Amino acid sequence: MNVDESLHERIAADGDPVAVAAPSSPDRTAPPRAAEVAELPLWRLHLMRVGYLFMGVGLAVVKWPLVIGYDQAMPLYEGVVAVLLTAMSLLAFLGLRYPVRLLPMLLFETLWKLIWLSVVAAPAVASGNVDQTMSEMIFSCSLVVVIAAVIPWRYAWRQFVMAKGDRWR
C-alpha cells in the first residue's frame, strides 16, 4: 500500500481523513506533498464553499454599489470600510476555488464579528442603548453563525495552533 492509499483509509474520530506523516523533504522551499497535509472530505470543502458564497454575495450586494458609485461626500472611514469589504468579497469568491487556502479569511470574519458582538453590542443591549443603526449592525454581525458553522474547527486548530510554525530564517 502506498502513502496515497493509506491517506484515504485512515479516518480520524471526527470523520475527517488525516494524512499519515511522510518523511520531511530536505528541500524546505518545496510545497508539502498531499500525504503531508491533513485533508478534508469533499463534503466539508463544499460546505466551506457555501460559506464563501454566502459572504461573497452578501458583501457584493451591500458594498459593491458603494464602491462603484463612490460619492466624494462619503465620510473617509465609511469609504475605507466599503473598499476593505469589497476586497474581502473578492477573496471570498476566490475561496470558492481554494476553500482550504483561504480558511484564515473565514476565521478573520468570524473573530472580528464575535469580538464586536461581545465588546460593543452586548454591553449596548444590556444597558438599553440600542438605536436603529446598532440594531441593524447587530443583525448583520449575527449572520456570522453561517460562517462559523462551515469552518472545520478541528482542522483549523490542528493547522494554525498545534502545527509547527513556519521557519523564521
- Tell me the Cα Rg of the chain: 20
| pLDDT for the residue numbered 39 | 85
Mean pLDDT in order along the chain per 10 residues (169 residues) = 45 46 49 55 96 97 93 91 95 97 96 97 96 95 96 95 93
The secondary structure of 58-88 as a DSSP string is: HHHHHHHHHHHT--TTS-HHHHHHHHHHHHH
| pLDDT for the residue numbered 38 | 55
The three cell numbers of residue 149 are: 458553522
| pLDDT for the residue numbered 70 | 87
| pLDDT for the residue numbered 50 | 97
| pLDDT for the residue numbered 12 | 45
Structural domain spans, the chain: 42-162
Per the confidence metrics, is the pTM higher than 0.85? no
| pLDDT for the residue numbered 66 | 92
| pLDDT for the residue numbered 118 | 97
